[in-house]
Chains A and B, each alone.
Chain A
Amino acid sequence: MEANVRRDSGILGSVPTLILRLFALAVIDAFGIWLLYNMWSDGFYPLAIMLALVTLGLNVVFLYPRFYPIRWMAPGLALMALMALYPVLFTVYTAFTNYSTGHRLQKQQVIETTVEGPRNYYTPEDGINYTWEAFRSTEGGETTYSLWITDPEGNSFFALPDEPLIPAGEADISARDEEGVPTTIGSFRRIPSGQKLQLLDVISAREFGEPPATIQVTSFREAKATIQRFVYDAELDALIDRQTDTIYYASEEEGFFLDEDGETIFPGYQIVVGLENFRRFFSGPAISGPLLRVFVWTFVFSASTVALTFALGLFVALVFDHPDMAGRKLIRSLLIIPYTLPSVISVLIWRGLLNERLGVVNRTLEDLIGWAPAWLSDPTWAKIAILLINLWLGYPYMMLICSGALQAIPTDIYEAARVDGANAWQRFYNVTLPLLLVSVGPILISSFTFNFNNFNVIYLYNRGRPPIVGAETPAGHTDILVTYTFRLAFEGGQGSDFGLAAAITVVIFAILLVLTLINFRFTRVWEEIGENV
């Protein structure tokens, strides 16, 4: 025994495993450092920090024997830290920024794309005027253009796209005309002057030479050297537009570079805006309108779903869990089929069944009573349809849970109640229900939290529609918080507002956390851990 204890906690372990372990660590470290280096230089700081922590953690755990138990969990914990914890933390951080369409990039990236961006060049008035001749090559099936340019002093250059200018002496000229202008250079052939005018648009839309020092054709006769339009002045913390002589100062309040008139350079950059998103969430008149409705409906939807599925599931369990009933197993198998179908498929099925004009439900109702509800376009009926679908999806689960819990209730309690003269309803209400609620309580709460975020049913049935008329941010009558947040982030009409979406997410996090902690009090989870520590 002693020997084994030493093997577990010994520093070295056996030599082959030690070598294997160190080798694996070295590979992981090399890979991690390579990733870190790249991420850091590309400005992905939050991810780089998380990755550094995970790599460091792995090293500590696998090098120090006292962390031996953690080694077993290392794969799981590392994945969890990167793919679950990091997104949570990042979402919380995003909630305090203005991250959105138009504010996606970091400030440094905005400066780089503005200064070096492909379109931000111009040809200054006082620049050198070249005369030009155009050349074309169709080598490799692709048409490429190039220029032969001559400056006022008579120096000529050959200009290819994205390559430095080639002085006349170094170009591969195979034939010249009587004026000394080449007719072929490498695979390029000169475009006859009769075609020059036709191709003027094509050629003047291109840039020749290697950025930033490029040449652009400005007229039939002239070509000019272009220069960078914007320069960044670190002292002023401003971008200067050399074409219009405008100074755009960085505004840390707006996340934009602004000139005196409030004109901005697009795109803006990310800044920390503090509680701004939460202020908009709770008090903005434009946004809180639909949001309040969405909020209320989310609670109504989850609470009604839990209540309805539980009631029907319990009823079915009570009716069919009778020892004298033949074929119970078959009945149960048939009844859980709605639960076994992937919810994507069953919700889409229901969408077809409840289709207003063509679906079977409405065609039947029209034939029978001449009227049918607008399951998709009327706010109230759409909500009823969603509750119906969710009842169908969810009651088999509650039935399974309840029949399990009912069997766990000792039968002698019923006998005692019966002897005391309690009738069936009293026995159910005073004995069964309280005992049942104790055991299924936690499941009701987790069912509530699940439905609180039940994206599939809402989104796949009707995408949250019908729309709320007049809402400033797009919202629908059946939208719950998660689908509304999803719209804000991915389907916003005026662009994505990740900051606000993240703020709402943080509020949802808080609600989930409270519900989970309540659930913990219900269950014996804490005690269970306590016993074993």
Chain B
Amino acid sequence: MSDLTVSRSPSMKRQARTSMLLRYLLAVLAIAFALFPVIWVFSASLDPVGGLSSQRLIPTNASLENYRMLLSGDERFPFLRWLWNSFYLATLNSVLAVLITSLSAYAFSRFRFRGRRNLLMTVFLVQVFPNILMMVALFLLLTQIGNYIPQLGIGSHGGLILVYLGGVMGINVWLMKGFFDSVPRDIDESAMVDGATHWQIFWMLIFPLVRPIVIVVGILTFIGTYGDYLLARVLLTDPEQYTLMVGLWFFIAEQYSDNWGAFAAGGLMAALPVVIIYLLLQDQIVGGLTQGAVKG
């Protein structure tokens, strides 16, 4: 490739320069398409009037009023409460998901037993069906469990976590098992000669080695849970327990056009942590994605 570039004639150089200029032009267009809604919403969030119709790109009397209203703990829109709910649910779910799936993936990767292949297939196939399709069954299931254990019933964070955890195995076990397989088995065997148990090998040797995939699975689960709307909407009942996504939806569902500015501020604040995580870890996440995970 490089030797061809060296021998290019002046006309080819000019052609190359034009094509590069075209690329930058397209880049500007593409970025405009990608960011126009975001910029527009940012401007809306600074508009103290907060109506949809009155909004201009550069708001007159720009102020942080909308942000102040949300963060000051307005009773109708307990934004901070919702933010906290989302954060702790997503964190708890991703930590538990990583533990559960890494244990399973270790077994799939390191043990040989009858029915292993079928079990792996089953784990994957069960999780092909998205939760949306089982909403009625899940609702009923939590209602019934809630008769005996209210902390895991309808309208409880415990029940929601349980449903989330029921859906973490599939693709995550596959991703992790693939990574575990790439860790040489010699490591386990030499440790075993030294008298280590499987648990010690897993926890002290393998787990630190597979940290990249653990981070990817953890982050993707966190983002997925944080952004979940439907399950939280159907299974939570009390506005105090809402997650941010459900809260924001109800927030604007009533008086949409009047609350536009406040929604814009809330949406941007809600999105910010996720966007930052993505941008910081984009290389690792892309690696995980290309192995077949789809944003959920």
Interface set of A (CB-CB < 8 Å, partner B): 1, 3-4, 7-8, 34-35, 38-39, 42, 44, 47, 68-73, 75-77, 79-80, 82-88, 90-91, 94, 316, 319-320, 322, 324-325, 331-346, 348-353, 355, 357-360, 363, 392, 396-397, 400-401, 404-405, 411, 415, 442-443, 446-447, 449-450, 453, 455-456, 459-460, 482, 485-486, 489-490, 498, 501-502, 505, 508-509, 512-513, 516, 523, 525, 528-530, 532-533
A483 to chain B: closest residue by CB: B132
Q: Which residue of B lies closest to A1 (CB)?
A: B193
A334 touches B34 (CB 8 A): yes
Known: A69-B107, A353-B37, A446-B292. A4 touches B248 (CB 8 A): no
Q: Which residue of A lies closest to B189 (CB)?
A: A1
Contacts of A34 in B (CB 8 A): 148
Would you give the 0/1 interface string for B116-146, flagging 1 where the beta carbon is closer than 8 Å to chain A?
1101110101111110111111101100110
Q: Which residues of A contact B252 (CB under 8 A)?
A: 348
Q: Is B106 an interface residue (CB 8 A)?
A: yes
Q: Is B278's beta carbon under 8 Å from chain A?
A: yes
Bound Cα distance from A87 to B140, whole angstroms? 9
Contact B292 A443 (CB under 8 A): yes
Q: Which residues of A contact B197 (CB under 8 A)?
A: 4, 7
A357 touches B53 (CB 8 A): yes
| In the A-B complex, the 3 residue pairs with the closest CB atoms | A83-B166, A342-B227, A72-B107
Identify A401's interface contact among B51, B53, B256, B289, CB under 8 A. Answer: B289
A79-B249 contact, Cβ under 8 Å, with A94-B136, A344-B229, A345-B271: no
Query: Is B78 on the interface with A (CB-CB < 8 A)?
Result: no
Please pick, from B123, B133, B192, B282, the residue contacting A336 in the complex, using a CB distance under 8 A. Answer: B282
Across-interface contacts of A489 in B (CB, < 8 A): 135-136
User: B128 touching A516 by the CB < 8 A rule?
Assistant: yes
Q: Tell me whether A400 and B133 are in contact in the complex, defined as CB-CB below 8 angstroms, given that A83-B166, A341-B271, A349-B41 are known contacts.
A: no
Contact A533 B1 (CB under 8 A): no
Given A340-B275, A342-B271, is A47 in contact with B128 using a C-beta cutoff of 8 Å?
A: no
Give the distance in Å from the alpha carbon of A353 to the alpha carbon of B53 in the complex: 10
Q: How far is the CA of A522 from the CA of B36 in the complex (A)?
A: 38
A253 to B227, CA, bound (A): 44
The verdict on A490 contacting B234 (CB below 8 Å), with A87-B137, A453-B132 known, is yes
B residues within 8 A CB of A320? 23, 27
Number of interface residues of B (CB under 8 A): 103
A489 to B100, CA, bound (A): 32
Q: Which secondary structure dominates where chain B touches chain A? A: helix
Q: Is the CB of A90 within 8 A of B226?
A: no
* 16 examples of A-B residue contacts, CB within 8 angstroms: A76-B103, A76-B168, A76-B173, A77-B104, A90-B141, A91-B137, A319-B26, A341-B38, A345-B270, A401-B289, A453-B130, A456-B230, A490-B135, A512-B128, A528-B178, A533-B117
With a cutoff of 8 Å between Cβ atoms, the chain A residues found around residue B128 in the complex are 449, 512-513, 516
Give CA–CA (A42, B145) in the complex, Å.
Answer: 12
Residues of B close to A443: CB separation below 8 A: 290, 292, 294
> Which residue of A331, A351, A460 contacts B31 across the interface (Cβ within 8 Å)?
A331
Most chain A beta-carbon contacts within 10 A, residue among B117, B229, B248 = B229
Q: A69-B113, A73-B104 are in contact. List 19 more A-B contacts (CB 8 A).
A: A47-B144, A71-B107, A73-B119, A75-B103, A77-B104, A87-B141, A319-B26, A334-B35, A337-B35, A338-B37, A342-B271, A351-B256, A355-B257, A363-B53, A447-B294, A453-B132, A453-B133, A482-B132, A533-B112
Q: Are B120 and A529 in contact (CB under 8 A)?
A: yes
Identify A94's interface contact among B41, B137, B260, B296, CB under 8 A: B137
Which residues of chain A are within 8 angstroms of B169 by Cβ–Cβ distance?
A: 76-77, 79-80, 84
A498 CB contacts on chain B under 8 angstroms = 136
CB distance from A491 to the nearest CB of B (A): 11
| Cα(A502)–Cα(B135), bound, Å | 10
B290 near A401 with CB under 8 A, answer: yes
Name the CB-closest residue of B to A343: B227
Residues of chain A within 8 A (CB-CB) of B20 are: 322, 324-325
Set of chain A residues within 8 Å of B53, measured between Cβ atoms: 357-358, 363
Give chain A nearest CB distance to B19 CB in angstroms: 9
Residue of A nearest to B196 (CB): A4
Contact of A342 among B26, B264, B274 (CB under 8 A): B274
- A485 CA to B136 CA, complexed, in Å: 10
Shortest Cβ distance from residue B177 to the other chain A in the assembled complex, whole angstroms: 9
A42, chain B: closest CB distance, angstroms: 7
Q: Is the CB of A334 within 8 A of B31?
A: yes
- Minimum distance in angstroms from A478 CB to a CB of chain B: 16
In the complex, the chain B residue whose C-beta lies closest to that of A83 is B166
Q: Known: A336-B282, A455-B132. Is A35-B111 also a contact (CB below 8 A)?
A: no
Is B151 interfacial (CB-CB < 8 Å)? no
CB distance from B245 to the nearest CB of A (A): 4
B205, CB-defined interface residue at 8 Å: no
- A3 and B194 CA atoms in complex are apart in Å by 11
Knowing A485-B133, A512-B129, the reply to whether A73 touches B34 (Cβ < 8 A) is no
Nearest B-chain residue to A85, judged by Cβ: B126
B-side contacts of A397, CB under 8 Å: 289, 295
A79–B234 alpha-carbon span in the complex (Å): 20
With an 8 A cutoff between CB atoms, is B81 at the interface?
A: no
A76-B169, A346-B37, A404-B290 in contact; A91/B134 too (CB < 8 A)? yes
A433 to chain B, nearest CB (A): 18
Task: State whether A76 and B192 are in contact (beta carbons under 8 Å apart), knowing that A83-B163, A357-B53, A456-B230 are contacts in the complex.
Answer: no
Contacts of B55 in A (CB 8 A): 360
State A198–B165 Cα separation when bound (angstroms): 59
Q: Does B125 lie within 8 Å of A516, measured CB to CB?
A: yes
Chain A residues lying within 8 Å of B181, measured Cβ to Cβ, are: 532
Complex: how many Å from CA A182 to CA B218? 73
B229 touches A456 (CB 8 A): yes
Residues from chain B with a CB closer than 8 A to the CB of A509 are 129, 133
A44 vs B146: C-alpha distance when bound (angstroms): 12
Bound form: Cα–Cα A336–B103 in Å: 33
Contact B148 A35 (CB under 8 A): yes
B167 within 8 A of A: yes
**Pick the contact of B103 from A4, A72, A404 — CB < 8 Å?**
A72
Q: Which residue on B lies nearest to A496, using beta carbons?
A: B136
Taking a contact as CB atoms under 8 Å apart, the answer to whether A348 and B249 are in contact is: yes
Q: Contacts A69-B107, A76-B169, A505-B133 hold; do A352 and B31 have CB atoms under 8 A apart?
A: no
The verdict on B30 contacting chain A, using a C-beta distance below 8 Å, is yes
Contacts of B108 in A (CB 8 A): 73
In the bound complex, do residue A400 and residue B290 qualify as a contact, i.e. CB atoms below 8 Å apart? Answer: yes
Please report the C-alpha to C-alpha distance between residue A409 and residue B168 in the assembled complex, in whole angstroms.
33
A4-B30 contact in complex given A38-B148, A339-B295, A342-B274, C-beta closer than 8 Å: no
Does any Cβ of A come within 8 Å of B40's Cβ? yes
Q: Does A404 lie within 8 Å of B286, measured CB to CB?
A: yes
Nearest Cβ distance between residue A414 and chain B, in whole angstroms?
A: 9
When the two chains form their complex, are residues B278 and A336 in contact, meaning their CB atoms are under 8 A apart?
yes
**Cα A345 to Cα B257 with chains together (Å):** 15
Known A79-B165, A344-B245; contact A319-B129, beta-carbon cutoff 8 A = no
